[in-house]
A and B are shown apart, each in its own frame.
Chain A
Amino acid sequence: MSLARPVGLGRTATIVLAVPPVVFLGLFFAWPVLSILATGLAPEGRLAVDAIADTLGRPYLLDTVVFTIGLAVAITAGSFAVGMPAAWILARFTFPGRTALRVLVAIPFVLPTVVVAAAFLATIGPRGIVPTRLADTVIAVIVAGAFYDVSVVVRLVGGLWAHLDPRTEDAARALGASPWRAFREVTWPLLRPAVISAASVILLFSITSFGLVLLLGAPGQPTLEVEVWRQASVMLDLPAAATLAVVQIVGVVVLLVMNACWQERLAVAQRLRPAAEVARPPRTTRERVAVAGIAIGLAAYIGVPLGALLERSLRAGDRYGLGAWEALVQGSVTRNVVQAPAVDALATSLVFALATLCIAGPLGLAAALVVGYRRGWVPRTFDALVMLPLGTSAVIVGLGFLVALDQPPLDLRTSILLIPIAHALIALPFVVRAIAPVVRSIDPRLREAAAMLGAAPGRAWREVDAPIIARAALVGAAFAFAISLGEFGATLFLARPETTTVPVAIERLLSRPGPLAFGQAMALATVLMLVTGLAMLAIERWRAPGSTGF
C-alpha cells in the first residue's frame, strides 16, 4: 500500500539501470581515451617531454591546427550562407513543393560521410558529371561540408524561426523599420540562440569531418584527424598519433565548454506559435522571385550530387550500362587480382549494424530511463557523460581502441565484436537523445489518470509509459542501425580484410584506379544511401509528432 505518487524511478532501479551504461562507457570510452593520453604523454611510464616536444615541434603541426580551424570556420560560414535563406523560406512561406524541399534538406544530415564524398566526386570529381579540378582541393571539402550542415541550420534555426510570432516583425514594420532593419532588430536577436547552437554543432562536426577531408581534400593538407590517422596507420607512429589526438581532444573540450557557456547566457524566454500560423504564401513579386530562386537553388545543391551518384553508377565508360553493378555483385578481375564482390561488405555491414543495435539499444534505453525519470544532478551528470563520445571524434575512438584494447585483460583485436562496440559507443548518444526527452515529457498526470481508472502503479507504467517509450526506443534503434551502417572514421582503424564494411569498401574502391572501380564505388554508395535513407524514413515515421532534436 503506497500513497506516494506513482512517478519515476527508485534508487535501486536507478542503480541497476545506470551500471551497464557506466561500465560500457568506462571500458570502451574512458579507458581508451586515458590510454591515448598515456601513450601520447608518457609512453614509457613517465612524461616523455622530448617526444612530445618533438611531435609538437614539427613545423607542420601549427599549420595543421590552423588549417583544421580555418576549414571548420569556412564550412560553418558556407553552411549559413546557404542555410539561412533556406531556413527563411521554409519557415516563413508556403509554396508548392515545400514539404518535398523540407524532406530533401533533411536528407544530407543523415547520410554517411563516405556517401557525401562519393556524391561530390560523382558531380565535380575528375570522373564526375562536370569534371573540374576542384576535387582534391579544400574547396570541395567546404562545398561538401556545407552540403551536410545546411540541414543543421534548417533544423535548428529554421525550427525556431517557424515558431516565432511574425507579428513582432510586423510591429517593427508598422513602427517604421525597413524589412532588413526589422529582421536585424527583432528577428535576429530572437534567433541568435539557435544560430549559435547551430554554429557550434557545425564547428564540431567540421572539426571531426574526417571522411570528407580524407576522400575529397588535398593530400598535402591534412586536418588534425587525418594526421592522427596517417601517423597511426601509415607511419605506424602511435605515440605521435596519440599526442596529436590529445591536441584534438583539448580543442573539442574547449569548444564544448564555450558552447555550454553561450547557451546559458543566450537563452531567451519567448512565446512560440504553431508553425501553421507563421507560414504564408509569398505576396509580392519580389517575394515570389526570392522564394522560387532560393528553393530551386537549394533543390539543385542537394538534389544534383545525389542524382549524380546514381547516374555515375550506371556509367560504363562512355555509355550507360550495368557493368559496375554486375561487378559489385559478382566480383571482378583487375590486373589478374580477383576482387571479391564488394557487395559482401553489405552483408558485413548489416550484421554489424544489427549487432550495434543490440548493444546500443538496451544500453541507451537504460541510460535514457535514468536521464528521463530522475531529477537533479544525477541525471544531468549522467546525460553529459553519455554525450561525451559524441563530442570526441570517431577517429579518436578508433585510435583509442587500437591503443587500449589490444592486450590483456581486454584483447579484442580479433574479436568480431570490436567494430560493433565502437559503433555502439558512437551511436549511444543518439539513442539516449532519441528516448530521454520522450521519457521526460510524459505527463505524470497520465499515470495519475490511469491510477484513477484503476491501474496499479506497475500497470499504469506499462499502459501509459511503456507504449510511448517503446516508440521512442524504435527511433533510437533505427539511429543505432543507420549510424553503424555509415560509420567510417573508427571503422577505418579497426576493419580487417574479412570485416570490411560498406564505407570502408567504398574508400578502397575509390582509391583503386580504373572506371570500373569508380563505378562500383558509386553503385555501393548508392546502395548505402538507400539503406540509410530507409532507416531514417523509419525514424521519421516513428518519431513522436512535434519532437525536436536529432
Chain B
Amino acid sequence: MARTRFDRLLMSHDPGSAAEPFLRLEGVGVAYGSRVALQPLDLTVAAGSIVAVLGPSGSGKSSLLRVVAGLEPPTGGRITLDGRDITGVPAHDRGIGLMFQDFALFPHRDVAGNVGFGLRMRGDDAAAVARRVMEVLELVGLPGAGPRSVGALSGGEQQRVALARALAPEPRLLMLDEPMGSLDRALRERLPAELRAIALRLGLTVLYVTHDQEEAFGVADRVVILRDGRVVADGTPEGLWTSPPDAFVASFLGFRNIADAEVSGGVARTPWGTLALPGVVDGRVTLVLRPDALGLADTGMGGVVEARRFRGDHVRVVVTTDAGAPLELEVRDGPLPQVGERVRVAVDPARVNVLAAG
C-alpha cells in the first residue's frame, strides 16, 4: 500500500549529519541486588537517529532501556537528555516515550483512554486530548479506533495503539522494548519501515531494543550489540555486516562459517582446508567466510553437498569439504547441485573477515 512512500522517506533519511548527541550516558550501569545486569557504559545517541540495541536475552538491553526511562536506578554515572542532566529525575518527569514489550495497554480503558493517558497527565483539556488522540490514531493507521476495547484488538492493532500511546505526548526520545513481541512475520516486516517513516516525520530520536538482528538491521541507522552487560559492537548495519568485530558478533549476526585458522606465508590452514589469503600477517586468527565471499566454481576447495534448503530468493547449500568441516553458502543462480554431488567452492579473499583469534 503505502510502501513506496515509506521507501522514499527511508532513502532520504541521513542521520550522520546531525552529530550533536541528544542522549548521553556516562558510566551508567544497572544492578539488581548483587547481580550486575549492565556494566557501567558510555553511549551517545545523535538527535534524529534510530539506534537499535541488539543482544541475546540476559544481555542487559532491557536494563539499558529501563535505566534511561528512569524505571531502574543507575549504579552510578550520569544520563543527559538534550543537554539536561536527568539522572535524578523520576520516570514520570522525563518526558520519554516508552513502548513496552507486550505493550502493557491499560485493560480497563478503551483505545482512546490509552492513547490520551499521557495527555491527561500533562493537563490537556478534554477537547485537546480528543483532537490529539484522533491525530495520533490516524498517524499509526487506526483512524476511528478510539472507542474500541483494547481486549478486542488483534496483536498488530495492540502494537499500533501502544505506539500511538507513546507518541501522543510528543516525546522527543522514543524507546521501544522488543516491539515485535510475539507478532507474526508479516507484521514484523511492516513495522520497521513505518516506524522509520513516523520517526522521520516527527523528528524523533529512537532507541530500539531487540534480540532479532534482522529487525535491528531493518530499522536502525546504528546498531549497538550488547553481551553480558557490555557493549561488544557499535556501528552502522552495513559496517557490522561487512566487518564484524569478533566471532561472537559474527555468529550473532547469523554467520555460520566461523573458524580459527593458522596463517603462514599468505596461506591459511582452516578446518575446511587450506585457503589463499594474500597479505594477511602470519599467526593465529579467526576467519569469517560471509555468504557473499563464497561461490560454486570450477576451482577451489573440493567437497560433497550435504544438504540443500530452499530460501525463496536463494538456496542455502551445505558442503562438507574434503577436510571434513561443513561450509554454508548461498546459491542465487546457475545450476543447483544435487545432494551428494561433488562440487568446488571458490573463496573471494577480499570478502573474508580476518579477526584476532578468539
Residues of A within 8 A of B (CB): 1-6, 443, 445-446, 448-457, 459-460, 463-464, 467-468, 471, 545
Contacts and interface: CB of A to CB of B under 8 A. Distances in A.
27 contacts: A1-B88, A3-B70, A3-B72, A3-B88, A3-B90, A443-B104, A446-B106, A448-B91, A449-B104, A450-B106, A450-B117, A450-B121, A452-B69, A452-B97, A453-B92, A453-B117, A454-B92, A454-B95, A454-B122, A455-B117, A455-B121, A456-B92, A459-B92, A459-B121, A468-B108, A471-B108, A545-B151
B93 interface: yes
Contact of A452 (B72, B98, B108): B98
Interface of B: 69-73, 88-98, 100, 104-108, 117-118, 121-122, 151, 165-166, 169
Given A453-B118, A454-B122, 4 more contacts: A3-B91, A446-B107, A452-B91, A455-B92
A548 to B, nearest CB: 17
Contacts of A453: 92, 117-118, 121, 165-166, 169
Contacts of A446: 104, 106-107
A463 B118 CA distance: 11
Nearest to A465: B108
Nearest to B118: A453
A44 B297 CA distance: 106
B203 to A, nearest CB: 20
A36 B93 CA distance: 58
Contacts of A460: 92
A456 B118 contact: no
Contact of A448 (B71, B73, B151, B169): B71
Chain A interface mostly helix, strand, loop or mixed?
helix
A449 B97 contact: no
Contacts of B95: 454
B106 A464 contact: yes
B32 to A, nearest CB: 11
A450 B121 CA distance: 9
Contact of B100 (A448, A456, A457, A467): A448
Contacts of B104: 443, 445-446, 448-449
Most chain A C-beta atoms within 10 Å of own C-beta, residue among B92, B96, B117? B92
B70 A454 contact: no
Given A454-B121, A463-B117, A464-B106, A449 B100 contact: yes
A3 B73 contact: yes
A528 B118 CA distance: 47
Contact of B71 (A5, A443, A454): A5
B63 to A, nearest CB: 13
B71 A451 contact: yes
Nearest to B151: A545
Nearest to A452: B98
A426 to B, nearest CB: 30
Contacts of A1: 88-90
B121 A449 contact: no
Nearest to A442: B107
Contacts of A448: 69, 71, 91, 98, 100, 104
B115 to A, nearest CB: 10
Most chain A C-beta atoms within 10 Å of own C-beta, residue among B73, B97, B108, B117? B108
Contacts of B169: 453-454
The 7 A-B pairs with the shortest beta carbon distances in the complex, nearest first, are A453-B118, A454-B121, A445-B104, A451-B91, A3-B73, A452-B98, A451-B92
A3 B88 CA distance: 7
A464 B113 CA distance: 11
A4 B66 CA distance: 12
Contacts of B96: 452
Nearest to A3: B73
Contacts of B121: 450, 453-455, 459
Contacts of A467: 108
Contact of B106 (A2, A449, A459, A545): A449
